Chain A
Amino acid sequence: MTTTLGARPAPGRGRARARHRLTVLAFTAPAVLGFVLFFGYPLVATVVFSFTRYDLINPPELTGLANYEFMFKDPLLVKAITNTLWFVVVLTLARTAFALGVASVIARLKSGVGLIRTLCYLPSLAPPVAATLVFFMVLRPNGGPVDSFLGWFGVDSPLWFSDPAWAKPGITAIMLWISGDLMIIILAAILDVPQEQYEAAELDGAGPVRRWWHVTLPTISPVLLFGVVNSVILALQLFTQAVVAGSAGSGAADATGSTKYLGFPDNSTLTFPVYLYAQGFRYFDMGYAAAMATLLFVISFGVTILLVQRMRKNSSAEEGGPGA
């Protein structure tokens, strides 16, 4: 990457400078406006709303810290946080490890790479709603393909989306199926590992496994970190799969995000964003939803900082110093 020697005018040429400023302004004005309208304002307003009681019909009423106090008395919130933490831990580990595993296998293929890589990647493009329904169908405990398959071995299929203990693993399975994008990123990183390093390791008598462990892994570790952070964010935001799995699992007749079926079975799929949605847009307790949003913001902000730090390190390494 070349250094970005921008068009910064020499000092002293006031007019050119003003013009340059105008140019920058012209290029960024829509984005700045958009950022202020759709991020700046709502972020501030969310915090303001979190101190109110607001049902979108009657004007907001200031209630001080009542919403935050209620958080400590709300068993469903505990459930929602627990569920989301479950995903943050399990989904992150499973997704990163799975993508790494698949990418490592594909990297070793000599023929048919294109086809297999495409097959592994395509599911990640499917609409999440469709992907969830696909798994609902495939994992169906009464005669679905997986059930039949397990039946050959005399094993009873789990009830998946009808069983509180299996609903989250079921959703994790969906997420793995659509993890093709992370896989491609890791694959690219693996293929970028300089061949000489492998050859050097081979000369030292390292077998394929040790080469993978001692050469591949350390070299691609920044990408793995990216995978972890990215998966954490995905887990924090998990919404669609949880809502669709919950309503499909409950066998509900009218299912789009109805409060009756959010979290089915036994609130095991009630993730933090799902609960926030239920409070804000089903019960229309906007104040409480805003308090939850503030909490979610604080958490995701922390994760973002982590990623930004890593990116800064990377880019300064790549660009050979503070280029911009």
Chain B
Amino acid sequence: MTATLTKPPSDIPTEPENPRRGRTKGAFLHWVATHALGLALGLMFATPVVFVFLTAVMPDDQAFTSDLWPREWHWENFVEVFDQAPLFRYLVNSLTYSLLATGGMLLSSIPAAYALAKLRWRGRNLAFLLVIGAMMLPPQVVAVPLYDTWSSLGLTGTLWPLIVPYFLFDAFSIFLLRQFMLTIPQSYVDAARVDGCSEFQAMVRIVVPMAKPGIAATALFCFLFTWNDYFGPLLYTGEVKDQWTLSLALATFKGMHIVQWNSSMAVTFLTMVPAVVLFVFAQKSFVKGITFTGVKG
């Protein structure tokens, strides 16, 4: 997991009270300066993507020149890349990996997080430490024996070695869900127990509905992490092209299928779209999730 801890942000934090509103000329200049700086920062973060977009719609012979603005707008470049490479195949693979992994993660991680947050048992602290340890472990450390095992099972060359673990254990998700569940007052769970609910019922009826935003955030991060994953697919499907994910295919694109820069940039742009769409629809969850990994950790 490359981005282990930093994946998720807090409730998009609200602006602080402003006690100094409308004061002196100095304050006004200060306002102008900070906002100019802020605007510059925003632009700095946005321009690379703008350039990519502009290059993507350029005609073939213009893309590798020093022009910044397209001579003509070739919107069809975004469609043509689907003919130049089996993008749909890669898209299906990426979706398979991301959706199955996210689903499996929810099945396995919610009960585990519940046990860590809401049940008392000996060894719980140790278990939590192990979860953190697993979360911090560079994936390369365990890659050798895992690859060996998966290859003796005949499953290398498929995405299963990447998907299956999510059905059992995903450290980051367990960690994040536990953090969310800790914020749910224990009294709700206790009340459910008093009412005769089993722990399973307490989890499903009380904690899961209350932790919905947290679960949504965890699912989002899991989806994005698998969508963006490069090491895993490279390791297990590098030589089997019809199993490639978009991320993996993208890395090979420039040479293999597409020599033109505009097409290469069109695909680059397309792979970034899902993240943006997810963010637009679930901004709150994202931000909440991120702060939970850092601040409340």
State which of B60-68, B81-89, B209-217 sits at the interface with chain A: B60-68
Residue pair B129, A280 in contact (C-beta under 8 Å): no
Residue pair B255, A226 in contact (C-beta under 8 Å): no
| B260 contact set on A, CB distance < 8 A | none
Q: Provide the bound-state CA to CA distance between A179 and B221, in Å.
A: 15
Chain A residues near B (Cβ < 8 Å): 1-8, 20-21, 23-24, 26-28, 30-31, 33-35, 37-39, 41-43, 45-46, 49, 54, 56, 102, 105-130, 133-135, 137-138, 142-145, 147-148, 177, 179-182, 184-189, 191-192, 195, 199, 208, 223, 226-227, 230, 233-234, 236-237, 239-240, 243-244, 247-248, 252-257, 273, 276-277, 280-281, 286, 289-290, 293-294, 296-297, 300-301, 303-304, 307-308, 311, 314, 324
Residue on A nearest B35 in the bound complex, by CB = A109
| A233 contact set on B, CB distance < 8 A | 4-5, 136, 138
| A286 contact set on B, CB distance < 8 A | 144, 148
| A289 contact set on B, CB distance < 8 A | 143-144
Smallest beta-carbon distance B128→chain A, Å? 9
Q: Provide the bound-state CA to CA distance between A177 and B47, in Å.
A: 11
27 contacts between A and B (CB under 8 A): A27-B119, A27-B199, A30-B107, A37-B168, A46-B144, A108-B38, A110-B15, A120-B41, A123-B48, A125-B278, A127-B246, A129-B250, A137-B52, A145-B47, A181-B8, A223-B295, A240-B2, A255-B254, A255-B255, A257-B234, A277-B235, A289-B143, A293-B140, A294-B141, A297-B137, A314-B297, A324-B124
| B141 contact set on A, CB distance < 8 A | 42-43, 46, 293-294, 296-297, 300
B57, CB-defined interface residue at 8 Å: no
Which one of A21, A42, A273 lies within 8 Å of B121 (CB-CB)?
Answer: A21
Decide if the interface of chain A is mainly helix, strand, loop or mixed.
Answer: helix
Of A223, A256, A293, chain B has the most CB atoms within 10 Å of the CB of A256
Instruction: Tally the A-B contacts, defined by beta carbons under 8 Å.
Output: 389
| B219 contact set on A, CB distance < 8 A | none
Residue on A nearest B145 in the bound complex, by CB = A45
Of A6, A41, A115, A294, chain B has the most CB atoms within 10 Å of the CB of A6
Residue on B nearest A301 in the bound complex, by CB = B133
| A110 contact set on B, CB distance < 8 A | 15, 18, 31, 35
Residue pair A303, B136 in contact (C-beta under 8 Å): yes
B92, CB-defined interface residue at 8 Å: no
| A113 contact set on B, CB distance < 8 A | 15
Decide if the interface of chain B is mainly helix, strand, loop or mixed.
Answer: helix
Q: Provide the bound-state CA to CA distance between A2 and B118, in Å.
A: 12
Total interface residues on B, CB under 8 Å, equals 130
Q: Provide the bound-state CA to CA distance between A173 and B125, in Å.
A: 38
Smallest beta-carbon distance B44→chain A, Å? 9
| B159 contact set on A, CB distance < 8 A | none
Which one of B9, B133, B143, B148 lies within 8 Å of A184 (CB-CB)?
Answer: B9
B247, CB-defined interface residue at 8 Å: yes
The 4 closest A-B pairs by CB, nearest first: A34-B169, A34-B168, A6-B120, A143-B66
B182, CB-defined interface residue at 8 Å: yes
Smallest beta-carbon distance B267→chain A, Å? 9
Residue pair B15, A38 in contact (C-beta under 8 Å): no
Q: Provide the bound-state CA to CA distance between A277 and B91, in Å.
A: 26
B272, CB-defined interface residue at 8 Å: yes
Which one of B41, B124, B231 lies within 8 Å of A105 (CB-CB)?
Answer: B41
Known: A125-B275, A137-B52, A297-B141. 15 other contacts (CB 8 A): A7-B190, A20-B121, A21-B121, A34-B167, A112-B39, A121-B9, A127-B271, A128-B230, A134-B268, A189-B294, A233-B5, A234-B2, A237-B4, A293-B143, A300-B137
Q: Tell me the chain B residues, 144-203 only, with Cβ under 8 Å from chain A.
A: 144-149, 151, 165, 167-170, 174, 182-183, 185-187, 189-190, 193, 198-200, 203
